Structure 1
Amino acid sequence: MRFKAGLIYLSMVACFLPPPFYFVSCLNSDGQTLLSLSRRWITTPQSILSSWNASDADPCLWGGVLCDPNKLVVSLNLSSSHIMGEIGPEISMLTQLKSLNLSSNYISGTIPSQIGNCSRIQQLDLANNILSGKIPKSVGNLLDLMYLDLSYNQFISLPPDLGNCSNLEQFAVVGCGLTGPVPSSFGQLTKVTLLYLSINQLSGNIPPQLANCTSLTDLQLNDNQLEGSIPSELGRLKLTTLYLFTNRLTGEVPMSIWKIDTLENLLINGNGLFGELPIEIVQLKHLKVFTLYDNHFFGVIPQSLGINDSLTIVDFYNNSFSGPIPPNLCSGNQLERLILGFNSFQGSIPSEFGNCASLKRLIINNSNLTGVLPHFVNTPNMLHMNLEGNRFTRQILGSFGKLTNITLINLSKNRLSGLLPMELGNLLWLQALDLSHNALEGPLPPELASCSMLLKFNASHNFFNGSIPTALQTMSRLSTLDLSQNQFSGSIPTFISELKALVDLQLGGNTLRGMIPSSVIELERLVTLNFSYNGLTGRIPSNFSKLVMLQNLDVSHNHLTNNLASLSELHVLANLNLSYNLFIGPIPANLVKFLNSSFLENPGLCVDCGLDNCDVVSRNFRHCTSHSDQTSLTKFQTAMVALGASAFLFAVIGLGFMFHSGQREKHDIEDRSLFHKVMEATEDLNDRYIIGRGTHGTVYKASLGPDGVYAVKKLMFGGSKEGITSMVREVETIGKVRHRNLVRLEDIQMEKDYGLILYKYMQNGSLHDILHEVHPPPLLDWSIRCKIALGTAHGLAYLHFDCDPPVVHRDIKPMNILLDEEMEPHISDFGIAKLLDQSSPTLMSGTLRGTIGYIAPECAFTSKESKECDVYSYGVVLLELITRRKAVDPSFSDTDGLDLVKWVRSVWNENKEIEVVVDAAGL
């Protein structure tokens, strides 16, 4: 006994001795286990782990740790602690552990099978990491487990053994790429209330055994590849939420499902389901969200649907419903979103909708509706209205002026007539107005000048007349202006040059006279310019080469004269039509590729046979034999050409109108539902679809099946100008540039408080992901790294030297370099880019732009914005490609300043050996 007491005394003394005198550890076993785990991890110096001290007697005061009265660990919560590394098998030595939360870190590797020895554990959260491999069967041994979340990792399949966790109440494995079936053993989870298995690649049938989960209220199996029919057995459950959307389900929905009177959210869109809606659905008195879109439902919607006052979202888009629209849908004044487009209804929109105060989004396009538009007298929250492609008649009512918060109105492809109401000038937040393909007439009201937020204005294919109104001069944000196929007269106004944001300008098919104003060359962001089918005279203005982004030019069917020298520097043209004019002289070398279709009925034009590609000269064009021949038309010949061209113009103008209308209608039909599908595919941009975050925006992934996969960037304005500025800058910049190594803008949509930018989704993610996030790290041989480096350089060089004015990106980094399926790089995120006007002095800013670790020293201290700053950032990217180390990496010592550039310089100066710097895996 004395010997034992002596040892205890010596141990107590040792705890107070300085380190050289340690010979017995005073930290208890659980503390030792935690330290052992932490040695597998890398984290930042400011991490919660900095409080973990080996000299403590126990870990009970350590960050993230809770203990029982015996000083043993019962809870470990290290969520969002920036931990990199693996979970070691030591975890099983925490014998009293009841809660383990390691979510939202960078933990890789597999879940150790020893975790099944933590027999007391009740909560296990490993979500939002980069774990991979198999979910160990031993997790099924955790009989006390009540909460399990393994979402957003990279697991293979679901082990049936998980069905043994009989006390499980909440179970989520979302977004993990799971394949194989949903195990029927999950029917043994009789206490589970929430079962989330969405956004995977699960296949096979929905097991009817899930009906044995008698406590289940929330079942989410969406975004998988599940087949067959919906089991009727599920109707026995008291479900409040049933998500089965975006699968491959077929057949009719069982009647038992329509009778689950506890349902609040029923989302079964994006399948192959069919049948009529039974009258029983009106008994679902708690139903709030009801989506059936992209299926094959038919018949008449029960007319009393909505009488229960609970519906907030109804989306039956793209089915085959017929009959009238139920008038009770807005009866409870809870409805926020009503989407019924692409059906075959009869009759008009119920007048009750004009008093639906809660309604924010109304989409009933291409649905065969007739009659007149409702009086929108009490819909103050309306933000988005799309009624295109119906058969509405008569005029647009003045009550539209009461939609004071609306951002988009699309009334195109109807039979509306009469004058535009001046009350449209009350719509101060309106950003997109499409009135095309109607029978509207008269002049555009001057009150439109108040709509200064407009980005897109399409009034084409109507009977508007008079001169192009000066009201448009206030719409400085316009990117699209389409007034084609009307009866506008007079000249093209010179104020057009003040609309600096214009990307698409279409004034074709009117009776405009006079010359093309020389000021049009100030619209340097133009991609499309169409002045065709007018009576314009004179020459194409000189310095047309300033329109460096111009891809589509159509000035056909006018009386334009002189030579084409001003077009000789347009190198990105993809579509050109100069037909039926009076041009003379040689066709510039850069336009010879358009010979066979773009210069018809211009007898004064010729082709210079000195050109290398003279062999492609069409028989319709003569060879330029001398300088005198190129300009030797006599006055008589010119008059004959003009007379012939005018006569032919009247003969083909009808055919031209028909062709132009058909082409535009086809394009509109293809694109009209893209953003709708994107919003539905992401559940209105639900957080579960987030794939990235930036300074000003969040990026979501939208999978549209055969229509492709898109990335959606949402920019919140938040009442500040900065968000709007960022959105406009991104649209302006991306909208004007075209290069294989730059992300291409697919579409934009503006709401009151946010904007959306749509890009094609890049299959391989970002360069940052490939270098640092994917585990195990993929092999990157030097040919691929060289391809990425060169492609990024080409894209950056295009921004700096081929754009006029140059574009400075200001945030070049691996996260903003996206990789497609061929590992071709695409520079993205122009939200902080600045068009650099070299004629003006360098702007100074008190706000640091860019990302720490990539900012050139001169930019960090002076906020100087220049191409050189981008080049420095690109140099850091090259170092990351070579070393596979992050620009700011905690593995660097303090003396290196946690900076890749300083680390490379220090190591190179010390060793002068390239192997020390280069990524060993690439050698």
Structure 2
Amino acid sequence: MQYLTELVLHNNQFTGSITTSITSAIYLVMLDLSYNEIGSFIPDSIGRLSFLAHLSFSNNKLQGTIPQSIGNLTSLAAVLDLSNNSLTGDIPSSFRNLEHLQKLDLSGNRLSGSLPDIWEKFQFLKAMDLSSNQYNGSIPTSFQSLLNIQYLDLSHNFLNGTLPIELSKLVKLSVVDFSYNNFTGFLPDWLGDISSLSYLDGSHNGFVGSLPLSLQNLSYLNVFDVSYNNLSGYLIDIPIFRQFVESGYLDNEQGLCGPIFNTTCSSADTTDTESETYKFLKSAAEKSQYLPLFTLAIFGVGVVLLLVLCLFFQKCQPKLFRELLEFCDLEVSSMIKCCGRKKRFSYSDLCSATEHFCNRNIIGVGHQCKVFVGELGNDEKHAIKVFNANAFKEIKLHFLEDCNVLAEIQHENVMQLQDWCYKRNFLALVHKYMPNGDLYDALYDIEVVNFLTWDERLGIALDVANGLAYLHRFSKERRRVCCQLCPGNILLDEYCRAKIAGLRVLRESDTTLLMEDVLKKRQHNKKQDIVQSPKDFVNYIAPGE
């Protein structure tokens, strides 16, 4: 049992306690005992499982406090789920060490006290559910560091105070639930800045005042519930407010008034809440019938100016004009995605780093590319993959779109895309340089055959498994990715930690082609009676939904 890496026993009827013998399996990567009848306490020895990436004890009958030793599980990069038990106490301060965690679920317990201010380094956290507990106090300011969080549920607690402005930095939030707490103050204007919000529940609190007009910026908002608060005053008639009035999430029993409710406001309400700004916006809304004509006129002027500029560039700057046309061959959607992205390295930076792509800086050659090494930024070594002319024709159409997807992949065991460069007949990807090369050389090169110890080899295997688990989740939540999973695409950093490389975005037509390619290779090998060499690979395709 010592070398067991995965133990999944969920959805059974196990009783008793969590045996400490489990913690002797020190190489466990996944431990899932959820949906059983297990009672007693979480053993303190759980902290010995230093390779653990996924831990779930949810939906059991566990009691007592959460042990501080869980903070020793610094490899937890996927899930920590202790939900729906009878745990008490507070969140241990040692949780600050779980900075690679992507999902934290402590909901449905009896946890109490204030939320600890320990979230400064949780840059990978995407989902946090602390609902249905007994937390009190205010939202900690370190929540502002949860820059990748998409799901936040703090409902059914005793939290109080106002919604801090620091939350405005969480621009990737999609689902937020503050309901059934004791929050007070006005609903803040900055809610309208979180453009990805699709679900916002602030019901059953003590919010006052009217609703911020900035909410009309939330084009993806489907659910907006602020019922059972102390809202009051004039509510302007704009589409988003009318939508939620008709859905029952807003009603004039809260003290809101205005034409949207087919009621008139008292003089006090009008004086207090229908300020000059509201009057101006109300007037503008009534005059919105002229907006299409105004927009059409602006569009016409813009088209004329664009034609004039094109003629000017074609005549005076023919070289620049040709480059612009080539760049426009890319998908418009991909161009739009990249417009707001600040480039780290320019084409001239790459030229300088590689001495104009001198052959002596080549560290790898493939059938589609050459890989150069060069110093960029703060004199840090980077690997620069430059695609050849044949590859350029194949990938340029989706290049920017794919780069945007790959740039979102952030995991310690997957090579992260640092930057990319597109220029006329030039495509390049920039990654960090891996000083220990690839796994193939580390295993089979005669000069370094004794390079890896057995402990390091085991660690590399676990790193690869951890990286694949992350790619499974990424493909389910975002876009499916694939790679040639072979020793040559497993790179080793200065600490011999493995990183999966060679990723690309999978398209609908690719799945069938890749599987046919694998089957053809197998049939060919059977006919020829050849043993595959270690460099042969199996294509990895992330599973679909």
**Bigger radius of gyration:** 1
Q: Output the TM-score relative to the length of structure 2.
A: 0.49
The structure in which a higher percent of residues are helix is 2
Q: Output the TM-score relative to the length of structure 1.
A: 0.30
Higher RCO, 1 vs 2 (CA within 8 Å, ≥6 residues apart): 2
